[in-house]
Amino acid sequence: LTFPLLSVTVLVSFGSSMLYGYNLAVVNSPAAHIKAFYNATWSQRYGHGLASGSLTLLYSLTVSIFALGGLVGSLLVGVLVERYGRKGTLSRSALLVLLAGGFMSFSRELGSPEMVIIGRSITGLHSGSPPLTPGICLSVVPLYLGEIAPKNLRGFLGLMPSIFICLGVFFAQVLGLPELLGKDRFWPLFLSVVVIPASLQLLLLHCFPESPRYLLIERNDVCRATEALHRFLGTPDVQDVIEEMKEEQRSLSSVEMVSVWQLLRDRSVRWQTLSVVVVNAGMQLSGIDAIWFYTNTIFENAGIPVFQIPYTTVGTGAIEVVAGLIGCFTIEKLGRRPLIITGFCAMGICSAGITVSLLLQTDLPWMHYVSVVCVVGIIAGFCMGPAGVPFLMTAELFTQSHRPAAYIVGGSLNWFCNFTIGFIFPFLQMSAGAFCYLVFCGVCLLVALYVYLIIPETKNKTFMEISHIFA
C-alpha cells in the first residue's frame, strides 16, 4: 500500500463519501429547530402556523429530497465520467457542495425554508457520491478506487468509503450535541459544515493522477496510464498490469460503451444486472436510512429519556465506525459474500428484535435497552458489509463497457429507495407502529438469501475472470 494510493483514497473518501454519511444524519438532531423555523416562517407569511400533518409532510420532504437529488446525480454519472474522467467528475461535483452550503447557511437569515430544501437536494446531487450511494460521487468514488487498486487491495480500498460514511454519520451526531451545534441558533451552520471537506478535495485532488484503467482503455493513453500506475503502485515494473488492461481493451475493441437500456436488454450480463438491482435496492429498503434519518424519534418511541437521546445516538455512531473498520480490515481475508450475507442477516434479526421490544416494553421496562441494542445491531451489521460491498461489487461484476451503465442502474435504485424510505417512514411508523420494522426484516433476509444462492465470491479475481464465472 503506497502513500499516493492511501492518500488519494483518504482524500476522495473524506471529501465525498463522508459528506454522504454526514448528510444522512445531519437532519436528525436539529429536527425540532427546523420544524419550528418552518412553522414561524409560515406564520409570518400567511398569518397562521402549519397543521401537524402538513409540518410532518414538509419536514419529510426536507429529509427525503436529499435522495431525490442523488437520484438525478446517479443518472448523470455515465455522461460525466465518460467526458471528464473519474478525477475530473469528483472535482466538479465538489463545487455543488459549496453552492448547497451557501443556500442552507443563509436560509434562516432570509426566512426561506425553500433554501433549505434546495440545499438538501443539491447535496444529494453531489452525494450521488455508498457506495451509494450513489449520486455523482457515491458512484464515482468506488469506481475510481476500484480501478486504481491492485487486486489484493481492491476490497480494502473499496470499503474505505464506507468507513468515511460511518465517520460522517458520527461527526454529524457529535456536532449535533447541545453543547456544540445542537442549539437552535446554530442549525444553519450545522447543515452547511459540508463545505469544509468539499473545499479540501477541490484544492488537493489535482495533485493525483487520473485512473490508469480509464486512461488506457477509454482514452488509449498508454503513457499517462503507465505514469499513473508507477505513482499509485510505487514500482517501476507495471507491465503485467498494462497487459491485463490491454487485454480488456482488446476484448472491448468491438464493443461500445453500453447505455442503460442496452445493459438491461443484454442477456450476457443478465444475472450481474439483477444482482446489482437486488443488492442496491435491498441496501436502502433494509431500513438503515430510517434509522439514520429518525434515530432520535426511534429512541424516543422506545422510551429513552429525552436528555439521554443525543448521547445515546453518538454512542451508536461510535459503534458503527468500529464495525466499519472491522469490515474494512477483514474483507480481504473473509471475502465479499460472508460480509454482506452476515450484515443483512444481522440487520434482519435486529429489525425483528425492535418490533418485539416495542411490543413488550410496557410490561417489561428493560425492553427499552433491547431496542437500543437492536438499533446498534442494525447499524453495525450495515457498516460491516452492506454499506460498502454493493458499490465494490458493482465495479467488480462488470467490464469497462458495462460499468458506467451498471452504476446508473444501481445508483438510481439506491436513491429512489432512499427517497421512498425517508419520505414514508414517519407515516409508516404512525400507521403500523412497531410492526413497520418487520418489513425491513423481510427485505434483509431475502437479500441475504439471494446473495447466498446467486452471487459468487469476487475476491482476488480480475474483471474478466468474474465475467467468465457468471457466463
pTM passes above 0.85:
no
* pLDDT higher than 50, residue 135: no
Average the pLDDT over 262-281 and give the result: 86
Segment among 173-182, 230-239, 287-296 with least mean pLDDT? 287-296
Non-local CB neighbours of 38 within 8 Å, separated by 6+ positions? 50, 55, 58, 59, 113
Cβ atoms of residues 379 and 319 within 8 Å? yes
| CA 292, 296, 300, 303 torsion-angle sign | positive
Same fold? 1-208, 257-470: yes
Give the pLDDT score at 292.
65
Compute the distance between CA of residue 317 and CA of residue 379 in angstroms, rounded to an integer: 8
Instruction: Quote the CA–CA distance of 393 and 373 in Å, as a whole number.
Output: 29
Q: How confident is the model at residue 320 (pLDDT cuts 50, 70, 90)?
A: confident
Q: Is 80 helix (H, G, I), strand (E, B) or coil?
A: helix
> CATH second-level architecture of 1-208?
Up-down Bundle (1.20)
> Who contacts 99 (Cβ-Cβ below 8 Å, separation ≥6)?
122
Residue 225 grid cell: 496510464
pLDDT band per the 50, 70, 90 thresholds, residue 166:
confident
What confidence tens digit (pLDDT) does each residue in 373-391 have? 888 888 888 877 787 677 6
CA 470 to chain centre: 26
**CA pair distance 470, 154, nearest whole angstrom:** 20
> What are φ and ψ of residue 391, in 5° steps?
-70, -40
Enter the C-alpha cell of residue 68.
431525490
Indicate the CATH number for domain 257-470: 1.20.1250.20
Residue-level pLDDT at 429 = 74
pLDDT tens, residue by residue, 83-129: 777 777 777 778 888 888 899 999 888 888 899 999 888 887 776 53
What's the pLDDT band for 463 if we cut at 50, 70, 90? low
pLDDT at position 25 is 79
As to burial, measured by CB atoms within 10 angstroms (0-12 exposed, 13-18 middle, 19+ buried), residue 88 is: middle
> Is pLDDT at 469 greater than 90 in this prediction?
no
Amino acid, single-letter form, for residue 170: F
Buried b (16+ CB within 10 A) or exposed e, 424-457: ebbebbeeeebebbbbbbebbbebbebbeeebbe
Domains of the chain by residue range? 1-208, 257-470
Residue 29 confidence (pLDDT): 81
- Determine the Cα–Cα distance for residues 390 and 340; give it in Å rounded to an integer: 8
* Residue given cell 452525494 in the structure block: 127
pLDDT tens-digit profile of 43-52? 988 888 888 8
* Residue 130 in this model has a pLDDT that exceeds 60: no
What is residue 75's predicted lDDT score, i.e. its pLDDT?
65
Q: What one-letter code names the amino acid at 13?
A: S
* Better pLDDT: 191 or 312: 191
Burial class (CB in 10 A: 0-12, 13-18, 19+), 147: buried
The mean of the pLDDT values for the chain is: 80
d(CA 395, CA 77) in angstroms, rounded, equals 14
Q: Residue 435: its pLDDT value, please?
A: 85
pLDDT band at residue 139, thresholds of 50, 70 and 90? low
Q: Residue 70: pLDDT above 90?
A: no
Grid cell of 408 as nine digits: 446508473
Q: Which residues contact 53 (CB under 8 A, 6 or more apart)?
A: none
Name which residue leads in pLDDT, 294 or 161: 161
Which residues, 6+ apart, have CB-to-CB distance to 376 below 8 Å? 315, 316, 319
Q: What are phi and psi of 50, to 5 degrees?
A: -85, 145
CB 285 within 8 A of CB 443: yes
